[in-house]
Amino acid sequence: MTDPPTLSEAEAANRLMRLAKDIAKHNKLYHAEDAPQISDADYDALVRENNELEAAFPHLVRADSPNAQVGASVEASPLAKVTHEKRMYSLDNAFADEDVAEFIARIRRYLALSEDEPVAMTAEDKIDGLSLSIRYENRVLVLASTRGDGQVGEDVTPNVRTIADIPNELPADAPDIFEVRGEVYMAKADFTALNERLMEEGRKLAEQKGVEFDPETVRQFANPRNAAAGSLRQKDASVTATRPLRFLAHGWGVASAVPGDTQHGVIETIRRWGFPVSEHFVLLEGADALLAQYCKIETERAEMPYDIDGVVYKVDRLDWQERLGFVAKAPRWAIAHKFPAEKAQTTLLEIDIQVGRTGKLTPVGRLKPVTVGGVVVSNVTLHNRDEIARLGVRPGDRVVVQRAGDVIPQIVENLTREQERAPYIFPDHCPKEFGGCGSEAVAEEGEVDVRCTAGLICPAQRIERLKHFVSRGALDIEGLGEKSIEEFFGLGWLEHGPPDIFRLKNHREDLLAREGWKDKSVENLLAAVENKRSPDAARLLFGLGIRHIGAVTARDLLKGLGDIRRLPGKAAEFATYRLENPRGPDEKESPFNARMVAAVKRIFEVQTDGIGIAVGHALADFFHEPHNMAVWDDLLSEVSPPDYIVETVASPVSGQTIVFTGKLETMSRDEAKAQAEKLGARAAGSVSASTDLVVAGPGAGSKLKKAAELGIRVIDEAEWAEIVSAAG
């Protein structure tokens, strides 16, 4: 963020315009579509920047300022609209202890209170749910609505009647008109059970249709808040009734009479009426007491049954609340003290070892499930042997987990490192208990990764290579998923690797005799295999799983070679070159590397700058192995890949390097990369200084941030579609 005073007035106006647009977009994604693209912390940073700019340039405050907006419009919602009789406000945020002290001082100044005048406050955990207002008339539930933009929400009355926590009637002593306000949420355990149930329903449906079950076809919820919001907004209340929704009350709206003169008193009355209220709802006095409660709740956060993202403080006296009133979108008498973003504490239960298709041993931590940044995390990468040693982690340790770049969970701190227990010993042999072969596992010189030395005789590597071969980025054989690969490999049907996939038709009768396979599913599978007899050459090369040969590198190699059958000869030529042209005794590393790169580009007829020494060595080593050559020859006896020819058209992105990131909604990633190649551009997998353009879809994370840091142009999918369309 740019320091506001260093901006010119024109720059500040331009930045405020951009912030208003961005914040409005993310408000809509979060409140109206339940599909946030950025973390709460990143959203809060945008709001803070906007507030600082408005404070520094008050005459530039816009009519569409985020500080005048609450939630998001519900215009596109299929549910009926409800205008709130009393606006549903949001809360201002505090991020540091000093902000809380200033909040109390601000109240004292506004009310002209003396320093010794007590200021009682309620404190409660800020649940991460969906705001709801429930209206009772003559003590009977008549209307329930979401917050929407604070003024207009959605009518969800039939759905709310299915939530057991919400009474349909209030006691006789309740006012004639009273609106209870709070949050609809889904408990962590219920969220996990719901996703498991959806997975099981998908499995049963696949069995009924006689097709192989593909877990990726099952729509599961990303986090408890999305699950709660999606369940509450169902057009069919019978669907909502099957979802484990809960409710916590924390306030009220319109009331013909208020049953008390303090926040604490009214909330306790609402509790007595039968509404759940937070167990952490307490009455306190002074900043120190509030901060102590904040620390207590933060410590217990990971173990709580539902997700929270902070603690809310409210002035207790209602007459003071009345005097303090509201600013544009928030009350002056309340504030949300947010937790530091994206971290949580949990227990490391086990350390498993995964053996990848290149033989790399990757340690994976199995955690007691915990919510981090709105996502339930139960597994975490431990990267490699050195990372385990650095953290000193062992099963049973209490650890701090964060989501790096909002995507990859990782352990950042071991809280019980000093406990006297034996250290974790990283395996020096390929672990049989995790599907390995028991062969020696070593780290090559200059590398931190430990790899199994057995190569393709290791069953774990062979299975992973087979899974990779049929994956969507490679041959994309529909109906042949990971489960089937494991099943067929165990039966010995894929003993010779990828070529055996094209001989599965020889096992048709055996397959029909197996549980879960019927005539239709078997015929569909065999037809899908036959459909790949003339595979795209680049996909075929990528599917072999050769180290350092990704999808983009495979295409770049074949752009020059054209015929994939030329590859073994070129690999042998480079192997001979490196043997006959070693680094001279007086030759410095940089000139030697430049010479080797030039040799790679010349021998493999490379037309781009994205291929270097590592690729040359990987190809030379792969095709030098007799077993690999046997598999290669066998595979080419089963398939006939056509020459790789890329027809390009002139376009504004010709010659540029493009990175696609996030979720593309109208096309697959492979289709987008193919479009880029047709337009004369190169699709890369990572953002660097040589990147010219980034196409970002929803959920873009670290790549988008890096693009911003490097000042690289970023467009969305719609703008990319316009470029493609214009090029014809």
Q: Is domain 4-69 given the CATH code 1.10.150.120 in the classification?
A: no
Q: Which numeric CATH code is attached to 537-638?
A: 1.10.150.20
Give the pair of three-digit tokens for residue 42: 């990143």
Rounded CA gap, 614 and 612, in Å? 6
Q: What is the DSSP letter of 658?
A: E
Confidence grade of residue 674 (pLDDT, cut at 50, 70, 90): confident
For domain 657-726, the CATH class is alpha beta
Confidence grade of residue 728 (pLDDT, cut at 50, 70, 90): low
The 3-class secondary structure across 240-308, one letter per residue, is HHCCCCEEEEEEEEEECCCCCCEHHHHHHHHHHCCCCECCCCEEEECHHHHHHHHHHHHHHHHHCCCCE
Q: Mention every residue, 6+ apart, whose C-beta is less than 8 A from residue 434.
A: 352, 353, 354, 355, 460
When pLDDT is averaged across residues 694-716 and rounded to a whole number, the result is 84
The 3-class secondary structure across 487-502, one letter per residue, is HHHHCCCCCCCHHHHH
**According to the model, what pLDDT value does residue 145 have?**
94
Catalytic residue list contains 126: yes
Burial of 430 (0-12, 13-18, 19+ CB in 10 A): buried
**Which H or E element spans position 17?**
helix 9-27
When pLDDT is averaged across residues 39-53 and rounded to a whole number, the result is 72
Rounded CA gap, 661 and 37, in Å? 12
Beta-sheet pairing, 177-185 with 246-255:
antiparallel
Is 50's pLDDT higher than 90? no
CATH superfamily, domain at 93-338: DNA ligase/mRNA capping enzyme (3.30.470.30)
Measured between its terminal Cα atoms, the distance across the chain in Å is 40
**According to the model, what pLDDT value does residue 552 have?**
79
Q: List residues bridging with 408 in a β-sheet.
A: 404
Rounded CA gap, 575 and 569, in Å? 10
- Identity of the amino acid at 131: S
Count of H helices and E strands in the chain? Answer: 24, 22
Rounded CA gap, 48 and 342, in Å? 18
When pLDDT is averaged across residues 605-631 and rounded to a whole number, the result is 84
Is 328's pLDDT higher than 80? no
Rounded CA gap, 293 and 288, in Å? 9
Kindly report the CA angle at 66 between 54 and 253, in degrees rounded to 5?
A: 125
Please indicate whether the domains covering 455-530 and 657-726 agree at the CATH topology level.
Answer: no
Decide if 473 contacts 542 (C-beta within 8 A).
yes
Confidence grade of residue 110 (pLDDT, cut at 50, 70, 90): very high
Confidence grade of residue 196 (pLDDT, cut at 50, 70, 90): confident
* Tally of CB atoms within 10 A around 258: 13
For 499-535, write each residue's pLDDT tens digit: 999 999 999 999 999 888 888 989 999 999 999 999 9
Is 351's pLDDT higher than 90? yes
When pLDDT is averaged across residues 19-27 and rounded to a whole number, the result is 77
Alpha helix (H) residue ranges in 531-566:
537-543, 551-561
Q: What is the DSSP letter of 360?
A: B
When pLDDT is averaged across residues 181-208 and rounded to a whole number, the result is 86
When pLDDT is averaged across residues 672-686 and rounded to a whole number, the result is 83
Decide if 314 contacts 231 (C-beta within 8 A).
no
Given the residues 21, 86, 126, 209, the one annotated as active site = 126
**According to the model, what pLDDT value does residue 75 have?**
47
For 117-142, write each residue's pLDDT tens digit: 999 999 999 998 899 999 999 999 99
**According to the model, what pLDDT value does residue 314 have?**
97
For 537-580, write each residue's pLDDT tens digit: 999 999 998 888 888 788 889 988 999 999 999 999 999 999 99
Angle between helices 188-209 and 224-232 in degrees, nearest 10: 70
For domain 343-432, the CATH class is mainly beta
Give the number of C-alpha atoms closer than 13 A to the C-alpha of residue 392, restricted to the C-beta side: 11
When pLDDT is averaged across residues 579-602 and rounded to a whole number, the result is 89
Strand ranges across the sheet with 713-715: 682-684, 657-661, 693-696, 713-715
Positions of E strands within 544-670: 657-661
The 3-class secondary structure across 702-728, one letter per residue, is HHHHHHHHHCCEEECHHHHHHHHHHCC
Q: Where are the domains of the chain?
A: 4-69, 93-338, 343-432, 455-530, 537-638, 657-726
Alpha carbon distances (Å) from 486 to 71, 177, 463, 627, 638: 48, 62, 7, 22, 22
Alpha carbon distances (Å) from 58 to 12, 55, 94, 331: 11, 5, 21, 20
Rounded CA gap, 179 and 255, in Å? 6
Give the pair of three-digit tokens for residue 148: 């929407």
Mean of the per-residue pLDDT values of the chain? 86
Is 645's pLDDT higher than 60? yes
Alpha carbon distances (Å) from 424 to 21, 119, 399, 643: 50, 52, 15, 51
Architecture of the domain delimited by 455-530: Orthogonal Bundle (1.10)
When pLDDT is averaged across residues 485-496 and rounded to a whole number, the result is 91
Least confident range from 44-48, 413-417, 587-591, 611-615: namely: 44-48
**Which H or E element spans position 229?**
helix 224-232
